[in-house]
Amino acid sequence: MNKRDRRTALRGTVIGAVAAATVGLAAAGAWAKSDISFTAGPHTVRLGSSVHLAGNGTDDNSTYNRFCVQERSGTGKWVTLRCSSGGYNGGGSLKFSVRPAHRGQWQFRGVLTEASSRTSRHTSIHQVSPTATVRVR
């Protein structure tokens, strides 16, 4: 391989690397960004006392998003307590109180769901907050 061919090959390699990096950076900027936060407290309550729940969720994708709060007692199934009205490129926020029905460990979490429209029956969980545990005495 002569000097001219090596220079051409090197130039092609550099141009290819720059093109790949440009495409990679352009694709990285296209990711949808979502955020979810959730709090539950106090951590220990007496039976009949209120547990305060608050949270919000947002997402900038092009689907219909809603923020929901779920609970479970012991190792039971997650039950949805309440959902925000939601919206496209959004999610919503909630702030309310509940009174656990019996003693034991109660777990609460925030969930950001997504669907194709407000009336869609096919929703999926997009993001879940860390679980907050409340002990009811």
Q: What is the pLDDT of residues 72-118, one digit of tens each?
A: 998 889 999 999 998 887 789 999 999 998 999 999 999 999 998 88
Global confidence as pTM: 0.74
Looking at residue 25, what is its pLDDT?
46
Cα–Cα distances in Å, from 14 out to 23, 25, 26, 66? 14, 17, 18, 46
- What is the Cα–Cα distance from 37 to 35, expressed in whole angstroms? 7
CB 93 within 8 A of CB 84: yes
pLDDT in tens, 52-81: 999 999 888 878 999 999 999 988 899 999
Please name the residue ranges forming H helices in the chain.
Answer: 3-28
Dihedral (CA of 51, 124, 87, 26) sign: positive
Q: Please compute the mean of the pLDDT values over residues 8-23 and round it to a whole number.
A: 57
